[in-house]
Amino acid sequence: MEPLLHGVQGFIYPNEIELQWSILIVLYPFITGLVAGAFILASLERVFNVRAVKPTYRLALLTALAFLLIAPLPLQLHLGHPERSLEMFLTPHTTSAMAMFGFMYLWYLLIVLVLEIWLDFRRDIVMMAREKTGAARLFYRVLALGSDNISAESLKLDDKLGRFLTFIGIPSAFLLHGYVGFIFGSIKANPWWSTPLMPIVFLFSAMVSGIALVMLMYMLTSWFRNRPPDMDCLDTIGRYLLYAFIIDFGLEMVDLLHRIYESDESFRTLDFMVRTHLYTSHILIQIILGTILPIGLLAVVQLVQLQESARRTLYAIAGSLTLIGIFAMRWNVVIGGQLFSKSFLGYTTYKMGFATREGVLPALVLMALPFVILWILVKILPPWREE
């Protein structure tokens, strides 16, 4: 306790000195946001008939799956005793949003993502079961559930069912990430979190981060495969990223203006926190570097006629900055909400470990895992096979 007190300013209650929600809890909304955003980008093609983004459709689905598989791990690592998470399904607690989210997660993973990917890749799976030999053949046969039927009629049925799944997948993706915002927004004792705008802000920032991630993954995979990325597709994604970003930024500014105008009893404390403790991560990284700059870069592409290579570079920079900015947003919400005392009279400091259970190292490993899973998924189900 003694060394921790050096990070404390002013008056603080004893249970507020040490932060309970660590960087792992920052990762959790970041990762689920990427899932929801990637899925919503995929649904653009399927439900809203935006043909230009078709080259990213399957990659977006696989990306969403890779990240969704990892999404609960930060929570498991933070809480410990992963075996107890099963109790959530065995004895459901219907009045707790956190407990019911287990079912939401399962529904989204199994019914929406896995089933949709299976339907979409079924033709490829059957074709590979026919072409391969030995263990690989057996593997693909099991994946195809022993079916060898890829008649036009059966594929039409798959497409119809897949479209229906995407249709119910959009509200599911909204719920998936809206929930994360809901959890923070409904903590009435914390003025930094408690706002009904929270689920909506989280949702739009999720779309922004997911679209940026799929855009970067598409450019990266094209580069690995020595193929030029489809510029029409990239331009369309860039445009949607800009639209989503403007709405997201607008919502955050509405929230900010409302807080300033309302100036309730917590305002002076939060205002001081943003100007001091959170200045780098909130003002510099989240707002200037991670929001205004990428919006500006994406807007330049819309306003000025640029060469393909220049556009590609701008998209790569804007996409990377976007991901940094959205990560900073999650950081500022989760960590920022625990830096000030609920007495509004003091502040504490977040001391992050390195190779501890909730330190930087496990966070980096958790952040790298989805890319490993995606690499395996792409090996099993190459999303560009139909070209």
Partner 1 sequence: MRQSLKDREHLLRMLALLVAAIAVFLFVRSIAVPKDYGRFGPFRASALDDIAAMPVVFAGHSACEECHSDVVEARQGSKHTQIHCEICHGPAAAHAADPTASKPARPDGRELCLNCHVINVARPADFPQINPREHGDEGPCTACHPHHHPEP
- Which residues, 319 to 378, sit near partner 1 by CB under 8 A? none
Q: Residue 285 class from Cβ within 10 Å (0-12 exposed, 13-18 middle, 19+ buried)?
A: buried
Two tokens at 355?
């190779």
Q: How far is the CB of 349 from partner 1 (least distance, A)?
A: 18
**Residue 167 found at the interface with partner 1 (CB under 8 A):** no
Among 4, 13, 364, 376, binds partner 1 (CB under 8 A): 13
Cβ atoms < 10 Å from Cβ of 380? 14
Two tokens at 336?
């920022």
Contact 334, 352 (CB under 8 A): no
For partner 1, the closer CB: 48 or 89? 89
Stretch that binds partner 1, among 44-52, 157-165, 329-337, 354-362 (CB under 8 A): 157-165
Among 26, 144, 334, 377, binds partner 1 (CB under 8 A): 144
**Residue 115 found at the interface with partner 1 (CB under 8 A):** yes
Report the chain's C-alpha Rg in angstroms: 22
For partner 1, the closer CB: 86 or 136? 86
For partner 1, the closer CB: 141 or 312? 141
Among 97, 136, 157, 368, binds partner 1 (CB under 8 A): 157
**Residue 118 found at the interface with partner 1 (CB under 8 A):** yes
Distance from CA of residue 236 to its chain's centroid? 20
Two tokens at 180?
């994360």
Report angle CA 211, 214, 220 to the nearest 5 degrees.
140
- Cβ-based neighbours of 219, under 8 Å, separated by 6 or more: 229, 234, 312, 315, 316, 319
**Residue 146 found at the interface with partner 1 (CB under 8 A):** yes
Stretch that binds partner 1, among 77-85, 115-123, 214-222, 290-298 (CB under 8 A): 115-123
Two tokens at 294?
């990428």
Distance CA 149, CA 144 (A): 9
Distance CA 80, CA 290 (A): 33
**Residue 145 found at the interface with partner 1 (CB under 8 A):** yes
**Contacts with partner 1, 68-107, as mask; x by CB under 8 A:** ------------------x--xxx-x--------------
Two tokens at 244?
């989503």
For partner 1, the closer CB: 7 or 359? 7
Q: How far is the CB of 190 from partner 1 (least distance, A)?
A: 20
Contact 73, 372 (CB under 8 A): no
Binding residues for partner 1 (CB under 8 A): 11, 13-14, 86, 89-91, 93, 110, 115, 118, 122, 144-147, 149, 151, 153-154, 157-158, 161
